[in-house]
Amino acid sequence: MKVLLWHVHGGWTDAFVRGGHDYLFPTTPARDGWGLGLGGRDWPAREVAPDDLRDEDVDVVVLQRTDELPEAERLTGRRIGHDLPAIYLEHNTPKGDVPQSRHPMADRADLDLVHVTHTNALLWDTGRTQSRVIEHGVRDPGPHYTGTLDRFAAVINEPVRRWRVTGTDLLPRFAEVAPVDVFGMGTDLLDDAFEGAPPIHGLGDVPPPGMHRALAERRAYLHPHRWTSLGLSLIEAMQLGMPVIALAATEAPRAVPPEAGAISADVGELVQAARTLLADPEEARRRGAVAREVALERYGLERFLADWDQALDDAVARRPRNLKTTSRGIARTPTDLREVD
């Protein structure tokens, strides 16, 4: 089927577009958030000018931002949930007053909602909106782990701005055991943030192939995040065959068994596990093999794509397309969209 979506989350999209459908990405000369297209990625998908979308006969749209809802209606000339089946994909954990977090798509009858983790589904109040969990799928980078460097690795985007959210403040505890190399956007600011502290090095936003090679050389992977929807880099590290040292928060306890490295809310326990892995490369390799086996089984691409095929089929079956009665000049706003009474 023809699936319309915007390029919002590159790592997730890299897996999604492997499903064999016709994936359409709005693309503008500005290549901004509303027209990034493929963003230079070698994906089996098509870039489409926004003005041409009305001629594409889209089967379903996958929305990832609230503003995309009226934009999809404007570009296609069709009403979400009435003339155009839609799924809203929630990537994130809620912010603010978490126990009371009501999802912006709660109590809707005109679309389906998909969470990427069970933790997200637990924490968001989605009311009566048709919802399900489709856990991440990740293309296998291969068992490249060597662990030859007596160093730890982490992947954290904007670690200084996000600080306690990403557990950046915990990195010096591990750097007392061995140097910590941090990959990701904004990691160049770490040198100033930790001036005079144990060795913590920001290595920048390295493209996936190079980053995978670099990660696999480090002894273990650190996942110190307090509040996250489960970073794909953690799954990639596990698939590489790296042992992981993870803070037991949000979805990590489901993703990381203790045999794959170490997982605990006690940072002291994690630091001790880091010492063990540093001192015993064979033990690190053994735990990394467990991590790879678990990640391939739970987050393999085949299961992910099968789950999404079912979600797309269900969305289209519940809300058949209606092309004949659609106004070609429709331009609606969020307040025009119907909700369950």
The structural domains of the chain, ordered by start, are 2-137+302-336 (3.40.50), 149-298 (3.40.50.2000)
pLDDT digit string, tens, across residues 283-328: 999 999 999 999 999 999 999 999 999 999 999 998 766 654 343 3
User: Which pLDDT does position 323 carry in this prediction?
Assistant: 55
**Cβ neighbours of residue 262 closer than 8 Å, sequence gap 6 or more:** 243, 244, 245, 246, 269, 270, 273, 274
Strands of the sheet with 244-247, listed across from one edge: 200-204, 180-183, 149-155, 218-223, 244-247, 261-264
CA 46 remoteness from chain centre: 21
Mean pLDDT by 10 residues, the chain (341 residues): 96 96 97 95 96 96 98 96 96 90 96 97 96 97 98 97 96 97 96 87 93 98 96 96 97 96 98 98 98 97 98 90 46 33 28
CB distance 318 to 85 below 8 Å: yes
pTM beyond 0.85: the answer is yes
Supply angle C-alpha 335, 340, 341, rounded to 5. 95
Task: Quote the strand ranges of 21-148, DSSP E.
Answer: 22-26, 46-48, 60-63, 86-90, 112-115, 130-133
User: Which pLDDT does position 331 carry in this prediction?
Assistant: 37
Cα within 13 Å of Cα(68), Cβ side: 23
User: Which pLDDT does position 320 carry in this prediction?
Assistant: 65
Assigned token pair, 228: 């996250």
pLDDT digit string, tens, across residues 126-149: 999 999 999 999 999 999 999 999
